[in-house]
Structure 1
Amino acid sequence: MSPSPRQPRPVDNHFWTTYADWRSGTGDGTRAVGGGRPGLVIGAPDGLTAHRDPHTGRTGTYEYAVWTSPLYRTGVPATEIVASWNADTPPGTWLAVELCALYTDGSRSPWYVMGRWAAADTDIRRSSVDGQSDGRSSVSTDTLAVADPASGIRLTGHRLRVTLHRLPGSGHTPTLWRLGAMASDVPDRFTVPASAPRRTGELRVPCLSQEIHVGQYPEYDNGGEAWCSPTSTTMVLEYWGRGPAPQELAWVDPSYADPQVCHAARHTYDHQYKGCGNWPFNAAYAASYPDMNAVVTRLGSLEDLAVLIRAGIPVTTSQSFRKEELSGAGYGTSGHLLTVVGFTDAGDVIANDPAAPTNEAVRRVYRRREFENVWLRTKRYDARGNVASGTGGICYLYWPLDATPAQRKALAAVGVR
């Protein structure tokens, strides 16, 4: 059976990462730094600002600096945009990421807050912002979306703005290494075309269960089924040899197994969404470890997955399905993260699925055609027979700075650089 023809990719990724990129934007108090990993830092602060954290009630005064990207015109007139950023935030520092979209008619959206973020949770509570809309588009936690795609309105470009904050006189600064967004216009579909299997093998990604954490840390959404995203993120970080040091885990109850999963849940928790499933927050957490890159994107097929697996890059995917739609899962879900680690010789999907009762039960094999559909579709029927949304191939990609040439080629093949 010959491979199905590649379809035009309805996804456009664009990220600012180089010294020239940081110099190309407009900086008010920021400074570009070069070296092995170019970034953006606070130079001479642009001023002082007061920030009241709605989740603690505390008001702090911070020095700040602002960087605004050039306008990027997407190759895909989009219905959705998801931002990603990779940064270091020492104690006393944090950042806010905003996005302004360009509409088909040339008008622009307001500046939407896509996240207020710090790696730790002592200075601010990381959070998304609810209630942002101009009637034509709105932000739902981590995703900017056109309100009515049938209207023909599309997002044809965007600018990103980041505000770096630090305590006055501290001398510390956040360092921003990567800032960008994934714009997409995935066609509405209940089913997707079948793809032909190719040999890929299987990656040795550690197996971790979210279910052994049921009832742990109610303040971070109570473990169990709520922790699929940080558990998947932890598995991939451990594959790349990254994770918290023992002293960073001292806060975790010593009776809990796999404390690194508890740590990831705490440090991906969105205090507005009240959960650990914020996509950019998981990526930012992964990239807070030394020399890691992380983005949120969409892939178009299982062949895209296979390209990455063959290069040694596991992929964390998001999907939703009824129990009977994914044989062997044993559950249904309105949204769940797992990590694809390979394919069988027959082309079925090998996944580290954290929705397992033990670590030993995490490795699963799912039928290729079933997995392909529940991951890539944008529409589905829920358990009540109502039409609900699908995730349209969204995923996390995490990889190290010292990626091999083959890994860089694979990432470029799926539109990520």
Structure 2
Amino acid sequence: MTAPTPRRAVLVAALAVATAATAATVPGGSAEAAAAPSAPPAPRASGRTVDNHFWYSYAHWLAGTHQGTTAVGGARPGLEIKTPVGRTEYADPHTGKKSTWEYASWTSPVHRSAVPATEAIASWNARTPAGTWIQVELRGTYGDGRSTPWYVMARWASGDRDIRRTSVDGQSDGRSTVWTDTLAVDAPASGPRITDWRLRLTLYRKPGADRGPAVWLAGAMLSAVPDRFTVPASTPSGKAHELKVPRYSQETHAGQYPEYDNGGEAWCSPTSSQMIIEYWGRKASATALTWVNPKYADPQVCHAARSTYDAAYKGCGNWPFNAAYAATYRGLAGVVTRLTSLSELETLVRAGIPVITSQSFTAEELTGAGYGTAGHLMTVIGFTAAGDVIANDPNSRDNASVRRVYKRRQWENIWLRTKRPGAAGKVASGSGGVCYLYVPAAPDAAQLGALQTVGVL
């Protein structure tokens, strides 16, 4: 109900047939061969289904291969342009505008995944002032030693004046395919899996500019969540805990800004993002909101929608775009990952970290929701003593009715499963535990411990 085109529904349907499209041309990228030195498959870690790895420290940015970039220290270390290595023309497919950019790039070290993976989702946190943008690419190695192409996972800027923020459709090597924000192997049950990977970040700025973008965090979550209609029940902690998170309804924006997918039920993701951004004490400046119609309530939600809109996806539900938007606020970091149980989610909430979760369900599967959805984001803010989930559900008629309590067993199943009964007896998809985590870039001891416990750091 709340996503314009649920990416996992498209992914599941597409994987039923063989796909082989030519990967998109990368502006300013090198024409490296698709093959890589042979490497043995990574050992399968017993019981593990998710592996996270992110670069964010000064030592991280010193590593890897620099082509015109440099590591920058300070309170928030990052990657910046030192000396551009070339110029390229980029023709924006969404505006038709052609512009010349100078660029530099950084290629990460290879990360060996603890989980031979069927899916990968990249995350990045960056500052892109006017006249700058970044491109994020991921290249995996299969268990047989062959490599994927350099897949473009995003062409991204925090604003939309220079380029249109976009994912890149039509990328495949016949063994894996990029679906909006997710790289997925085409035959997870029988084909090769991704055993290691690396990122390439290309930073662009207008020719002759003094400064360019800065990247503070980049990495990916790789996973191999088993196909399942139901998941094991977790044991509640037995302790009630609820965070005071602002409440915003997406439905109060119905019909607003058709150019950003028309508000209302399409804005669950940015509305959820805005709740947590404000929970951490951040908000858009009055200057940033001057473009919003003054008759509209909660203009910051409109701003979040514009700031997360994916011009290729034609919606605001691109997972990493939401995390990247949250990280444009001072001192915040954001990543997309998967959790493996409701107990892990409880660990985060008890440490003061609310979590945005992605789920799909029929109206009958979630008591009290009053709707069904092929893909919806909501914010988990607490748990009752009985272990039931307290959520700020943006699919509510107004802000006052956003807080909901959902039955624990129902909720964990609709969130963690990968398959569900669909219309006319067909099988539909589930997110397999996808969530957004927005936290301080310098977390306190409790927050750090919780993030380590759930495997994010």
Post-superposition Cα deviations, 1:312-344, rounded to whole Å, max 9, x if no partner, equal 000000000011000000000000000000001
State the Cα distance separating 1:85 from its structure 2 match.
Answer: 0.1
For 2:297, the equivalent position in structure 1 comes to 257
CA distance in structure 2 between the partners assigned to 1:259 and 1:105 by the alignment: 51
Please show how residues 239-254 of structure 1 align to structure 2 within 5 Å.
239-254=279-294
- Verify: 1:104 aligned to 2:143, yes or no: yes
CA distance in structure 1 between the partners assigned to 2:440 and 2:447 by the alignment: 10
For 1:355, the equivalent position in structure 2 comes to 395
State the Cα distance separating 1:200 from its structure 2 match.
Answer: 4.2
List alignment gaps of at least 5 residues for structure 1. 1-6
Alpha-carbon spacing, 1:200–1:411, altered in 2? closer, same or farther (3 Å): farther
Counterpart residue type for residue 30 of structure 1: T
CA distance in structure 2 between the partners assigned to 1:243 and 1:229 by the alignment: 17
Q: Once superposed, what is the RMSD of the aligned Cα atoms?
A: 0.8
State the Cα distance separating 1:388 from its structure 2 match.
Answer: 1.1
CA distance in structure 1 between the partners assigned to 2:185 and 2:265 by the alignment: 30
Counterpart residue type for residue 402 of structure 2: V
State the Cα distance separating 1:9 from its structure 2 match.
Answer: 3.1
Counterpart residue type for residue 323 of structure 1: A
CA distance in structure 2 between the partners assigned to 1:116 and 1:123 by the alignment: 11
Within the candidate set 383, 392, 413, 1:343 is matched to 383
- Verify: 1:140 aligned to 2:188, yes or no: no
Deviates more, 1:358-367 or 1:17-26: 17-26
Counterpart residue type for residue 255 of structure 1: K
For 2:434, the equivalent position in structure 1 comes to 394
For 1:203, the equivalent position in structure 2 comes to 243
Within the candidate set 307, 312, 318, 1:272 is matched to 312
Tell me the SS of whatever aligns to 2:378.
Answer: strand
CA distance in structure 1 between the partners assigned to 2:74 and 2:86 by the alignment: 27
Counterpart residue type for residue 355 of structure 1: N
Tell me the SS of whatever aligns to 1:151.
Answer: coil
Please show how residues 174-193 of structure 1 align to structure 2 within 5 Å.
174-193=213-232
CA distance in structure 1 between the partners assigned to 2:442 and 2:183 by the alignment: 32
Deviates more, 1:402-411 or 1:256-265: 402-411
Post-superposition Cα deviations, 1:182-230, rounded to whole Å, max 9, x if no partner, equal 0000011100001111114100000000000000000000001100000
For 2:335, the equivalent position in structure 1 comes to 295
State the Cα distance separating 1:152 from its structure 2 match.
Answer: 3.8
CA distance in structure 2 between the partners assigned to 1:284 and 1:269 by the alignment: 12
- Verify: 1:33 aligned to 2:72, yes or no: yes
State the Cα distance separating 1:11 from its structure 2 match.
Answer: 0.3
State the Cα distance separating 1:384 from its structure 2 match.
Answer: 2.6
State the Cα distance separating 1:243 from its structure 2 match.
Answer: 1.8
State the Cα distance separating 1:142 from its structure 2 match.
Answer: 0.1
Tell me the SS of whatever aligns to 1:150.
Answer: coil
CA distance in structure 1 between the partners assigned to 2:141 and 2:312 by the alignment: 27
For 2:404, the equivalent position in structure 1 comes to 364
Counterpart residue type for residue 19 of structure 1: Y
For 1:68, the equivalent position in structure 2 comes to 107
Tell me the SS of whatever aligns to 2:405.
Answer: strand
State the Cα distance separating 1:402 from its structure 2 match.
Answer: 3.4
Within the candidate set 80, 94, 112, 1:55 is matched to 94
Tell me the SS of whatever aligns to 2:424.
Answer: coil
Q: Normalising by the residue count of structure 2, what TM-score does the alignment of the two structures yield?
A: 0.89
State the Cα distance separating 1:150 from its structure 2 match.
Answer: 1.5
Tell me the SS of whatever aligns to 2:428.
Answer: strand
State the Cα distance separating 1:61 from its structure 2 match.
Answer: 0.6
State the Cα distance separating 1:40 from its structure 2 match.
Answer: 0.3
Deviates more, 1:148-157 or 1:41-50: 148-157
For 2:414, the equivalent position in structure 1 comes to 374
CA distance in structure 2 between the partners assigned to 1:293 and 1:45 by the alignment: 27
CA distance in structure 2 between the partners assigned to 1:136 and 1:60 by the alignment: 34
- Verify: 1:20 aligned to 2:63, yes or no: no
CA distance in structure 2 between the partners assigned to 1:248 and 1:335 by the alignment: 29
CA distance in structure 2 between the partners assigned to 1:382 and 1:388 by the alignment: 5
Task: Give the percent of matched residue pairs that are identical in Structure 1 and Structure 2.
Answer: 66
Counterpart residue type for residue 375 of structure 1: W
State the Cα distance separating 1:389 from its structure 2 match.
Answer: 1.1
Counterpart residue type for residue 201 of structure 2: V
Post-superposition Cα deviations, 1:157-200, rounded to whole Å, max 9, x if no partner, equal 11100100000112121000000000000011100001111114
The count of residues paired between Structure 1 and Structure 2 equals 411
Tell me the SS of whatever aligns to 1:163.
Answer: strand
State the Cα distance separating 1:385 from its structure 2 match.
Answer: 2.3
Counterpart residue type for residue 379 of structure 1: K
State the Cα distance separating 1:403 from its structure 2 match.
Answer: 1.9
For 1:4, the equivalent position in structure 2 comes to none
CA distance in structure 2 between the partners assigned to 1:184 and 1:20 by the alignment: 26
Within the candidate set 144, 151, 156, 1:117 is matched to 156
- Verify: 1:414 aligned to 2:454, yes or no: yes
CA distance in structure 1 between the partners assigned to 2:425 and 2:410 by the alignment: 18
- 8 Å CA contact 1:211, 1:358 repeated in 2: yes
Counterpart residue type for residue 138 of structure 1: T
Tell me the SS of whatever aligns to 2:189.
Answer: helix
Post-superposition Cα deviations, 1:362-393, rounded to whole Å, max 9, x if no partner, equal 00000000001000001111133210111000
Post-superposition Cα deviations, 1:113-169, rounded to whole Å, max 9, x if no partner, equal 000000000010000001000110000000000001121411101110010000011
List alignment gaps of at least 5 residues for structure 2. 1-45
CA distance in structure 2 between the partners assigned to 1:150 and 1:411 by the alignment: 30
